Structure 1
Amino acid sequence: MEDGKMGFTKYEPVGVVGAITPWNFPFMMTSLKLVQSLCAGNAVVLKPPEQTPLTTLMFGDIAIEAGLPPGVVNIIPGFGPTAGAAIAEHPDINKVAFTGSTEVGRIIQIASGTSNLKRVTLELGGKGALIISKTADLAKVIPFAQDGCYSNSGQNCVALSRTFVHEDVYDEFVRKSTDLAIETRDKFGDPFTEGSLYGPQINKTQFDKILDLIDSGIKQGAKLECGGKRLNDKGYFIEPTVFSNVQDHMRIAKEEIFGPVQQIIKFSSIEEAIDRANNSTYGLAAAVFTNDLSEALYVANALESGQVWVNDSMAMRGNTPFGGYKQSGIGREFGWEGLLGYMEVKTIIIKM
């Protein structure tokens, strides 16, 4: 400041935070949203997902037992068009933190604009791209690639479902990925049972949507290497599915599937792979596997994605910012950058 003046900034809570959490990873998402809100000094009104509310209600019991003052954490079960809409529209809520679909994210942003211009953090859908360089060690990469796609039965916003593979190693990658999917096909069941790799899809609506997208891939000319059907006559289990010969215009290459469906796409140059990976309305997570450090940094810098993993997948950490480019969201959760979204920044200038 100029002579005779002093300036400083301080961080203050936004006040009341409305948090709306998704049905996948419900306890983790509840924990993370509450931790950031409370660390910044806010009170929270949290709506758990109607499909998976029980762990969040258990969290509420734990909060009472731990001695949190009444009114600091408020858990309101209900449906999106009623309980969720009430949070998004309420004039006394100063911020909404939402994780879920892009379609609902748009509704929440509109509700913010028509109410009190509440701050909004949106963590939305994705269509993750994984780029496999010709220098990558396929023996190590293939299990990582399938885990990045099939984890949590594909019910994951950061799923790396679009797998771009260099033409020099494409055929081998397709063959070995198919073999691995077939080999692990029977490892399904209760996710709490040791040895289970694949649990069920969340409900019949999601189950039918995945099968419809698989059917669209077949009809549009992709080659179904394995899977593609119901895995068991009981429960909403879907076979681990591998498509090759996938083209960018196909529905399975454009829409978020949220199921165990891997799409393998051939490319001839790294520049081509980057352009095609970025040709998406989403930009939440991406990865590159290569043994060339310069290539890794080049690709990581060029990808339009909030997270880029090098020689790894699903590497989320609560102390690093998380969020997306484009229609994958607004703002960041977690880390210092995420914490700032739960605070107001005040500048104070004093004439001495």
Structure 2
Amino acid sequence: MRKYGLFIGGEWTETGRGARFPAVNPFTAEPWAELAEAGQGDVDAAVAAAVAAQPAWAATNGATRAAILNRIADVIVENAQQMAVYESTDNGKVIRETGSQMLFAARLFRFYAGYADKLYGSTIPLDSPTIFDYTLREPYGVVALITAWNSPITLLCNKLPAALAAGNTIVVKPSEHASVSTLEFCKLLTEGGLPPGVVNVVTGAAETGAALVRHPDIAKVSFTGSPGVGRKIASMAGEMLKPVTLELGGKSPNIVFDDADPEAATIGALAGIFGATGQTCVAGSRLLVQRGLYNEITERLATRAQAIRLGDPLDPASEMGTVANQPQFDRIIASIESAKSDGARLVTGGGAAKGAHLGKGLFIEPTIFADARNDMAVAQTEIFGPVLTILPFEEEEEAVRIANDIPFGLASGIWTRDISRAMRLVPRMKSGVVWVNTYRMVAAQAPFGGTKESGFGRERGEAGIMEFTTTKNVMIDYSSEARDPFAIKN
């Protein structure tokens, strides 16, 4: 049994309350680690450590911050395999994905290291010829990063290196359902040379997160998670007029036109919903297929879904792991039963997956429903699991209408050989990300975020670091003329 404390001021500390809670391996259904549950006093201590470290970190020149971020990237690569084991053990995601995610985390550190000494301001020509005007990009100060359980290190690194490059100090609150990899990540930050107090981690449930959001010395909050929790965080932050970045859920449409490559579209649909056991905010859980390919794509997907290899997340041969935790498992099963009751046609799957090689793991069969209506709950509600809903459409206009007729707006996909159609449809998709003839593709350089109930603000790319800076404007009057004190000068 591994035991973890809180990471505050560069040291491992026990919670002042002495409270602890278990981390449960979703494959074995057994506790494998014990975590500290932070109270208000612990949150205060973590924020105080970040406040104390912030002036020196902000004053560190960009080249030095860049060097530290690059060293951290090196350490991540050196420890990628072990970090993948921690994450797969904690949340049941297959190691073939968590391993690649660790390398992507290193890529994000290198990307933002390149920005650390390039946070340029601008000079602005004004109407008055004797006023020199320029802007500065400055850090917020201390920011709170709150992450979800499905991809803890990826979600953290979507935020952390950008916030660090900009000169902020950090308090992280990972999900109580998957905290181990984040705590282990602190060791890599220290090894990479990050000064004490620049990054601090408190673990616990919703009360810990609320104490962090409400803390008066937290200047900005960045959250990844469900829309319901996102609303609460936005409300709490709004009471104190704190800016927030919210990366929330999705119910993404993946549209296949008759002229698409059937094999490529099938692979894209599989990746979109069954990759990561469907536990990803960009999951292409709504597959819209034009009538000409509808039966073929449905049959292809059923055949491929039935062949997906479920198994031990730490086995490189496994293609789909467990659901991350029991509450999520129960929600997915309830959604499947609701879809059956609503009249969607079950094509394959439809329940918990059993087998000697699966043990007590929280496995769910790759599940496909066809002939669904867009007003069904299975087509409107984020399930966050390996459940695909296939909806037929006739014409392009109908596809656009169905695709946008959801409360979410994170991602969408278009499969067509007609580049004119693709270019015509991209502006009409109400989502922050549009993939054409691919799906679930990421890049450090590309901004990521949503619209509607999928949140606001952007992560990754240049936009990601701008979320962690504020603009200061400076005016210098070098004229020698007297002015009228009772009239505004312009």
TM superposition score category, shorter chain reference: over 0.9
Please tell me the residue identity of whatever aligns with 2:231: R
2:221 is the alignment partner of 1:96: yes
Is 1:172 the counterpart of 2:286? The answer is no
- What residue in structure 2 maps to residue 147 of structure 1? 271
Listed one character per residue, the Cα deviations across residues 145-167 of structure 1 (whole Å, up to 9, x for unaligned) are 11111111000000001000001
> Which residue, out of 196, 208, 214, partners 1:70?
196
Aligned twin of 1:107: 232
Where does the alignment leave 5 or more consecutive residues of structure 2 unmatched?
1-125, 479-490
Provide the aligned length of Structure 1 versus Structure 2. Answer: 348
1:198 corresponding residue in structure 2: 320
Aligned to 2:8: none
1:61 positional shift: 1.4
Q: Does 1:315 align with 2:446?
A: no
Aligned to 1:6: 132
- Partner of residue 189, structure 1: 311
Q: Structure 1 residue 132 and structure 2 residue 132: aligned?
A: no
- Whether 1:247 aligns to 2:247 is no
Q: Given residue 168 of structure 1, which amino acid in structure 2 is its aligned partner?
A: G
For the 8 Å contact 2:159–2:464, the answer to whether it is kept is no
| Residues in 1 aligned to 2:139 and 2:222: alpha-carbon distance in whole angstroms | 14
TM-score, normalising length from structure 1?
0.97
Residue 194 of structure 1 and its aligned partner are, at CA, apart by: 2.0
Runs of 5+ unmatched residues, structure 1: none
Matched position secondary structure for 1:74:
strand
Q: Could you give the per-residue CA deviations for residues 61-113 of structure 1, whole angstroms, max 9, x where no partner exists?
A: 12222222211101111112x21001111111000000000000000011112
1:282 to 387, 408, 414: 408
SS at match of 2:200: strand
Q: Is the 8 A contact 1:226 1:243 kept in 2?
A: yes
Residue of structure 2 equivalent to 1:21: 147
SS at match of 2:453: helix
Confirm or deny: 8 A CA contact 1:146 1:262 kept in the other structure.
Answer: no
The whole-number CA distance in structure 2 between the counterparts of 1:11 and 1:30 is 23
Q: What is the rounded CA distance, in whole Å, between the counterparts of 2:251 and 2:361 in structure 1?
A: 26
Say yes or no: does 1:345 pair with 2:471: yes
Q: 2:329 aligns to what?
A: 207
CA distance in 1, matches of 2:335, 2:272: 19
Which secondary structure state, in structure 1, belongs to the residue aligned with residue 313 of structure 2? Answer: coil
* Residue in 2 that maps onto 1:223: 345
**TM-aligned CA deviation for residue 140 of structure 1:** 1.8
Q: Distance in 2 between matches of 1:10 and 1:273?
A: 45
2:276 alignment partner, SS class: helix
For the aligned residue pairs, the C-alpha RMSD in angstroms reads: 1.0
TM-score (norm 2): 0.70
The 8 Å contact of residues 172 and 201 in structure 2, kept in 1 or not, is answered as yes
Asked whether the equivalents of residues 156 and 258 of structure 1 are also in contact (C-alpha less than 8 Å), the reply is yes
Partner of residue 423, structure 2: 297
Distance in structure 2 (CA, Å) of the matches to 1:179 and 1:90: 52
Deviation (angstroms), 1:16:
0.5
In structure 2, give the amino acid aligned to 1:87. Answer: L
Distance 2:264 2:438 in 1: 10
Looking at structure 2, the residues matched to 85 and 263 of structure 1 have their Cα atoms a distance apart, in angstroms, of: 35
Q: 1:158 aligns with which of 277, 282, 287?
A: 282
The equivalent of 2:166 in structure 1 is 40
Which deviates more from structure 2 when the two are superposed, residues 278-287 or residues 28-37? 28-37
Alignment partner, residue 123 of structure 2: none
Matched, 1:331 2:453: no
After superposition, what is the alpha-carbon deviation per residue over 1:104-148, rounded to whole angstroms, capped at 9, x for unaligned?
000001111222x11100000000100001100102210111111
Alpha-carbon distance between aligned partners in 2 of 1:18 and 1:40, rounded to the nearest angstrom: 14
Q: Which amino acid aligns with 1:249?
A: D
Q: Greater shift after overlay, 337-346 or 24-33?
A: 24-33
User: Which whole-Å deviations, capped at 9, do the CAs of 1:264-298 have from their partners, x for residues lacking one?
Assistant: 10000111101111011100010000000011111
Offset at residue 177 of structure 1 (A) = 1.1
Cα shift at 1:319:
1.6
Whole-Å separation in 2 of the counterparts to 1:344 and 1:250 = 43
Mapped to 1, the partners of 2:158 and 2:475 lie a distance apart of: 35
Q: Distance in 1 between matches of 2:415 and 2:254?
A: 8
Are 1:59 and 2:185 an aligned pair?
Answer: yes
Higher relative contact order (CA 8 A, sep 6+): 1
User: SS at 1:69's partner residue?
Assistant: coil
Cα distance in 2 for partners of 1:173, 1:111 equals 45
* Residues 246-271 of structure 1 deviation map (CA, whole Å, 9 limit, x = unaligned): 10111110100111111110000111
Q: Is the 8 A contact 1:153 1:199 kept in 2?
A: yes
Cα distance between partner residues in 2 of 1:229 and 1:221: 16
Distance, in Å, in 1 between the alignment partners of 2:351 and 2:457 is 38
Aligned partner letter, 2:221: V
Amino acid corresponding to residue 220 of structure 2 in structure 1: K
Amino acid at match of 1:224: L
Aligned partner of 1:248: which letter?
N
Q: Give 1:31 deviation, angstroms.
A: 2.3
